[in-house]
Amino acid sequence: MNSKQRRWEEKRLYSNSQYSVLPLSSADITVDTIKKMGKDYIKMKGNSTSNSNNNNNNKRICQTFSTAPSNPFVIGSNAVTRAVEKNELQIVVMSGKTKKMYIQHIPALCHNMKCQWSTKMELSREDLGNFFGIKRITMFGLKKQEGKKLDKDVINNNNLNRGQCENEKKQSSNKNKCNKRLRVNEKMLHNIKKQRKTR
């Protein structure tokens, strides 16, 4: 099979697959925004490597920088896929000039996990890599901010505590009402028994 037949076959398989139903992008990100993200990544990487003097330490820091919890970027198709499955990403940006078979599952995953995605058709893998100071990048993702999650968790916990206090107050007032009702019922029963005895 020559290259033309192979390309035609890939297009045919992609058009018949379940992945062709979803749109290429759910969010529109400009190239300037991607460049700014790349500059931020390079600055962050530079700050983490400039602290050490030894070459061996530099290599270790560069390798561990991509997995550091303070790093908001996830780079590479495998890492992005894992992060999307764990629901850690806010947005995913993919190169449009990549073979569809390598990235066709990402929009479906993002759609299921309610994560935004964008495919930049004009950018090749090398162009994306140049923005981040790396040779080639098929896709990258931006992690969700944890500070906002913590604020929401604190608010939710406060609301739960308030709700529990209100429920406890209601339950205690209901117990008091039940006790009062029982007393009333006991008095009524006692009166009824007296009336029966006198008859």
| Rounded (10°) angle between helices 31-50 and 55-65 | 140
Are 17 and 97 part of one and the same domain?
yes
- Predicted pLDDT at 167: 54
Consecutive 10-residue runs of the chain (199 residues): their mean pLDDT?
Answer: 85 74 82 92 78 51 57 92 93 90 88 90 92 93 71 43 52 52 56 68
Please count the structural domains in the chain.
2
Whether 138 and 152 map to the same domain: the answer is no
Tokens coding 189: 């029963």
Residue pair 138/125 in contact (Cβ under 8 Å)? The answer is yes
Same domain, 140 and 189: no
**Do residues 102 and 196 both lie within one domain?**
no
37 and 128 together in one domain: yes
Residue-level pLDDT at 69: 66
The domain of 97 spans 3-144
Q: Are residues 139 and 160 in the same domain?
A: no
The answer on 131 and 110 residing in a single domain is yes
CATH number of the CATH domain containing 114: 3.30.1330.30
Check residue 11 and give its pLDDT: 79
Those residues whose C-beta lies under 8 Å from the C-beta of residue 35, and which sit 6 or more positions away, are 131
> Is 86:141 a contact under the CB 8 Å cutoff?
no
Q: Long-range contacts for 14-22 (Cβ within 8 Å, ≥24 apart)?
A: 14/100, 14/101, 14/104, 17/104, 18/108, 19/100, 19/104, 19/105, 19/107, 19/108, 22/107, 22/108, 22/111
Quote the tokens at residue 118: 């964008």
pLDDT for res 99: 85
164 shares a domain with 69: no
Same domain for 127 and 30: yes
Are 120 and 185 in the same domain? no
Residues 6+ apart with CB under 8 A from 195: none
